[in-house]
């Protein structure tokens, strides 16, 4: 430090909190869910639970981003650390909260339609996979015409029967016609492949790293694959955590 005439060395208190950021948990858990919050919500929070004698943080605990509200920022783009933080109904002093702001918008807000489509597709595949008999149509071939509600009840009871038994029974006035849908089409494999690519692009992860075929393009070693994952998918979040924990509200200037 400058003492008015020369630069003077002044011993600083050791910063041992990095060995265990939250004394009640492991760094693997704390840092993993800091990344989880940054990835999904675009920001994360650590609450300072104790300080050293010089006023700098000595320990932290994570505040789940989904449970934090900022009254001065509605989001989903966070333009600066918030000055009005509410957690579980109580307002917190911003000076006691370390706020991590991701350079990438959280995927919960960035592409809601992509995520919603993937969830609906997964639900459709589950429904199709739960049936041992291919999809088909029940056709009335005789007798008094059934009304809309009666047809719906007939279809529902037939579905319930074939879900619990390999054999279903019909009378002489009703026939079952299977559709020309193969098992791979029922499981929507092509649609699932496309949606996997869409989600990989959304998450900034190379397709081949999540097991998606990319034609002739392939990596040659696992080391290169790990480097690509770091470069394209992880580095922005890791830099966000490192730079936030190096700011002057956490460590002395220049540390």
In tens digits, what is the pLDDT along the chain, a chain of 255 residues? 788 899 988 877 777 888 899 999 999 999 999 999 999 999 999 999 999 888 899 999 999 999 999 998 887 888 889 999 999 889 999 999 999 999 988 888 887 888 888 888 888 887 777 665 666 777 777 877 878 888 888 788 777 776 666 666 777 777 777 766 666 677 777 788 888 888 888 887 877 777 777 665 555 566 777 788 888 888 999 999 999 999 999 988 877
Nearest one of 105, 68, 113, 90 to 236, comparing CA atoms: 105
How far apart (Å, rounded) are the C-alpha atoms in residues 77 and 87? 19
Tens of pLDDT, residue by residue over 170-227, are 777 777 777 666 666 777 777 888 888 888 888 878 777 777 776 655 555 667 777 8
How far apart (Å, rounded) are the C-alpha atoms in residues 125 and 194? 14
Tokens 């989600």 belong to which residue? 199
* 143 Cβ contact partners less than 8 Å away, ≥ 6 residues apart: 173
Long-range contact pairs involving 86-93 (C-beta distance under 8 Å, separation at least 24): 87/45, 87/47, 87/63, 92/47
Counting Cβ atoms within 10 Å, is residue 36 exposed (0-12), middle (13-18) or buried (19+)? middle
Count of alpha carbons within 13 Å of 9, Cβ hemisphere only?
A: 1
The predicted model scores a pTM of 0.70
Nearest one of 234, 226, 251, 210 to 31, comparing CA atoms: 234
Do 52 and 246 touch, CB atoms closer than 8 A? no
How far apart (Å, rounded) are the C-alpha atoms in residues 237 and 240? 5
């Amino acid at each position: 430090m400058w003492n008015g005439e020369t630069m003077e060395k002044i011993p600083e208190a050791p910063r041992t909190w990095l060995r265990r950021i939250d004394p009640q948990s492991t760094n693997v858990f704390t840092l993993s869910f800091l990344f989880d919050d940054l990835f999904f919500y675009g920001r994360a929070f650590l609450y300072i639970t104790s300080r050293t004698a010089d006023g700098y943080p000595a320990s932290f605990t994570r505040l789940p981003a989904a449970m934090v509200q900022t009254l001065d920022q509605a989001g989903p783009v966070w333009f600066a650390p918030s000055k009005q933080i509410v957690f579980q109904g109580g307002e917190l002093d911003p000076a006691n909260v370390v706020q991590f702001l991701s350079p990438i918008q959280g995927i919960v807000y960035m592409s809601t339609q992509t995520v919603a489509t993937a969830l609906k597709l997964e639900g459709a595949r589950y429904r199709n996979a739960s049936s041992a008999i291919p999809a088909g149509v029940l056709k009335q071939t005789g007798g008094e015409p059934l009304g809309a509600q009666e047809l719906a009840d007939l279809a529902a009871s037939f579905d319930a029967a074939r879900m619990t038994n390999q054999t279903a029974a019909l009378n002489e006035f009703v026939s079952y016609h299977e559709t020309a849908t193969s098992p791979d089409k029922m499981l929507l494999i092509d649609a699932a492949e496309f949606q996997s690519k869409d989600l990989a692009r959304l998450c900034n992860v190379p397709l081949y790293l999540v097991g998606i075929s990319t034609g002739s393009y392939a990596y040659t070693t696992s080391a290169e694959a790990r480097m690509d994952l770091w470069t394209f998918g992880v580095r922005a979040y890791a830099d966000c955590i490192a730079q936030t924990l190096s700011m002057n509200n956490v460590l002395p200037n220049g540390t």
